[in-house]
Homo-oligomer: A and B are copies of this chain.
């Protein structure tokens, strides 16, 4: 991959997170990345295309990191579910955390026709599906229900944590998650 392409992607990702997607112009991105519009439009068909690639890369990175973390640090399926939120907290509070793109993207692109909205809602669905599969392996009866509840907590916490940095939302989300997991396991 071209290093300039990567630079544009990471710069855009950072700006989208801190300034918002719609309020970040292409000119701002290329200036911050130390390149020009011509180069950006060589690698990306349009701004929308760039947004989609930023979202995809961010989601892939997170999913890869999370499943690797779970697979190498736990053995039992029930243990994975228990440690899920510990690792999520680790991700969210890590210094290079650039936000969960799909959460904000769906808010900035509320129209269901928008490809950006479609991709981010698909990613949200995928994440919920992943939690559900963990719950299923741990032989939880209503695995989908628990997965939905945990993803609600997760999305709410990420948003709150970004709204007021250091609000401790993730800590309480973690506690709530453990209560819900234990409650679902005893049925």
Contact = CB atoms under 8 A, between A and B. Distances in A.
User: Which of A106, A149, A156, A172 has the most CB atoms of chain B within a 10 A radius of its CB?
Assistant: A156
Interface in A143-183: 145, 148-149, 151-157, 159-160, 162-164, 167-169, 172-173, 175-176, 179-180, 183
User: Which of A17, A18, A169, A179 has the most CB atoms of chain B within a 10 A radius of its CB?
Assistant: A179
Interface stretch (A31-39, A77-85, A108-116): A108-116
- Protomer copies: 2
A181 B109 CA distance: 34
B163 A159 contact: no
Interface residues of A, number: 42
A104 to B, nearest CB: 5
Contacts of A179: 179-180, 183
Nearest to A148: B172
A173 B155 contact: no
Interface string A67-98: 00000000000000000000000000000000
A2 interface: no
A110 B183 contact: no
Contacts of A22: 22-23, 108
The 10 closest A-B pairs by CB, nearest first: A107-B107, A152-B156, A156-B156, A20-B110, A149-B176, A155-B156, A148-B172, A179-B183, A104-B107, A121-B163
